[in-house]
Structure 1
Amino acid sequence: MTQKVALVTGAARGIGLATAKLFIEHGWLVAALDRDTDALKDALATLGQSASGFDYDVSNPNDVERALPDVLARFGRIDALVNNAGVADFGPIEETDFARWRRVMETNLDGVFLMSQAATAALKDTKGAIVNIASISGLRASTLRVAYGTSKAAVIQLTKQQAAELGEFRIRANCVCPGPVRTKLAMAVHTQDIIDAYHDAIPLNRYGSEQEIAEVIVFLCSEKASYVTGQVIASDGGFESTGVGLPALRQS
């Protein structure tokens, strides 16, 4: 039986790397794509022979144009595309100039569009799946996220467009919106006050893990989710569901 192939962008670290590892545990082959050459090399050392690395930048149309033929030359097929590559840039609206805005959009939104367009023909052949990684910031507004939050909200809408149009080719498209995740980067920049505030605001009273987000992604790419498309799933410990609820109003 031919092994399925997942193309994961931003695969060198964090959620992308956790997702690549989980695909391999489930018997898939992985095309790990990232523009950070050194980090990608380190990641491949942990992924083993079931993964191959592709050093490309999803925000660069020329890179994307070369990446897909390279992946297909190596694996012959693509069964799932996980658009995980993204940049986080937080700052006040007044300090977000157009160049900063574009840097965020180029990777977070343009990259998803470009990779999906390039992979569509291959996904038609396999009746495959697209999973786009947005963010809780695309579902609910917050301070300092004018570019980041807007880019992720656009990814959510793009996912719905993909599901509506590509469904006739039996390509499924879904979106995962992680909440606060306990990554090395987050823990390095989040003060104790921020950590405490998130714990108070999240019904499960904790950060998520990279593995927990990966579980949702891999499920959506699997046959177990064969009738799931056009959905936006917040993997956030209930953060989005609380709306304007105040932690002080809890009973315990």
Structure 2
Amino acid sequence: MSRVGLEGQVAVVTGAARGVGEMLARKLSARGAKVALVGLEPDALKEVSGRLHGDSGHWYADVTDHAAMVRVAGEVKERFGKVDIVVANAGVATGGPFADSDPDAWRRVIEVNLIGSTVTGRAFLPALAQSRGYLLQIASLAALTPAPMMTAYCASKAGVEAYAHSLRAEVGHQGVRVGVAYLSWTDTDMVRGADQDGTMRELRQRLPWPANRTYPLGPAAERIVAGIERRSSHVYGQWWLRGMQGVRGCLPALVGTVGQREMRRFGPRLQGMRIGLVGAGGEADERARATHRD
């Protein structure tokens, strides 16, 4: 598929204060796009915006708040005149045994990753229909295969994958293209935060190659930007994830068998695991919600 030049395109990136979102904003800006950054960390967003090459702006909003995201969509369009690309990237994670999980943290993962993505799509679809633009939903290896100790994250990413595939069929006749991006373990605050728990880190290291590695963020973001330029239906942050599509039907049974063995091995160590949101992004989400409640 031929590439669409990004010069002068207007791209919206949610969860843009750090990690995948920040790196995508930088790379999109370097290719000439005007970038609107959306997230919960106004100071960090302002700092990221200040480092971008071209025109950019930043908006504070919780992606689960429909009214806030509709406001942001209107302000972005007013500021830049159009919206060509939306990257629904905002996400949080928690890990550990489901039975011992914090119900509020578990629910928040679903709210941010799945509901927040649909709220983002709903808010920006009118502008994307006008520009015949592109919506890229950031998913994960977790959408392709289930994993123990990651029930909320896997459920949320499987959900956004299904949502994006369904949406593609609905809006394609309007000229709007919808893509799904898949990443394995990538060097971000979220992954580093999860690795602070020794049990989670060791469990991940025991995964079969190449899923047991942590991959650098830069090359993964380059692959995603190339997918944005092509308006691709599927984008893979690591080369081997494409091959997972062909075997994903076999994975639940395999994970179920191997996972039970690993749970028996690690069972005595599962008591007292941290059960909140992980990483700096998770901490920012918790702070923002605490401030809102106050």
TM tier, smaller: 0.7 to 0.9
1:216–1:195 CA distance, 2 compared to 1 (3 A): farther
Gaps of 5+ in 1: 247-252
Percent identity for Structure 1 against Structure 2? 29
- In the alignment, what sits opposite 1:131? 136
One of 232, 238, 242 as aligned partner of 2:240:
238
- In the alignment, what sits opposite 2:278? none
The Cα shift of 1:237 comes to: 5.1
Q: Supply the AA of the counterpart residue of 1:96.
A: S
The answer to whether 1:170 aligns with 2:175 is yes
In the comparison of the two structures, how many residue pairs are matched? 241
1:77-130 Cα shifts (integer Å, max 9, x gaps) = 110000000111112111235433321121101111111111111111111101
- Does the CA-based 8 Å contact 1:207-1:237 persist in structure 2? no
User: Any idea what SS the aligned residue of 1:6 has?
Assistant: strand
What does residue range 99-118 of structure 1 map to in structure 2 within 5 Å?
Answer: 99-118=104-123
The answer to whether 1:23 aligns with 2:25 is no
User: Any idea what SS the aligned residue of 2:52 has?
Assistant: helix
The CA RMSD over aligned residues, in Å, is: 2.7
User: Any idea what SS the aligned residue of 2:25 has?
Assistant: helix
1:117-163 Cα shifts (integer Å, max 9, x gaps) = 11111111111101001111121111111111101100000110111
- In the alignment, what sits opposite 1:84? 89
Gaps of 5+ in 2: 259-294
- In the alignment, what sits opposite 2:161? 156
1:99–1:76 CA distance, 2 compared to 1 (3 A): same
Q: Which whole-Å CA distance do the structure 2 matches of 1:152 and 1:64 have between them? A: 21
- Does the CA-based 8 Å contact 2:85-2:133 persist in structure 1? yes
1:146-202 Cα shifts (integer Å, max 9, x gaps) = 111101100000110111111101111111121001124433542688379548723
User: Any idea what SS the aligned residue of 1:174 has?
Assistant: strand
TM-score when normalising by structure 1 = 0.85
1:178-228 Cα shifts (integer Å, max 9, x gaps) = 100112443354268837954872338742222223223222222x34xx4
1:213–1:195 CA distance, 2 compared to 1 (3 A): farther
Deviates more, 1:29-38 or 1:198-207: 198-207
Deviates more, 1:201-210 or 1:145-154: 201-210
- In the alignment, what sits opposite 2:16? 11
Q: Supply the AA of the counterpart residue of 2:228.
A: C
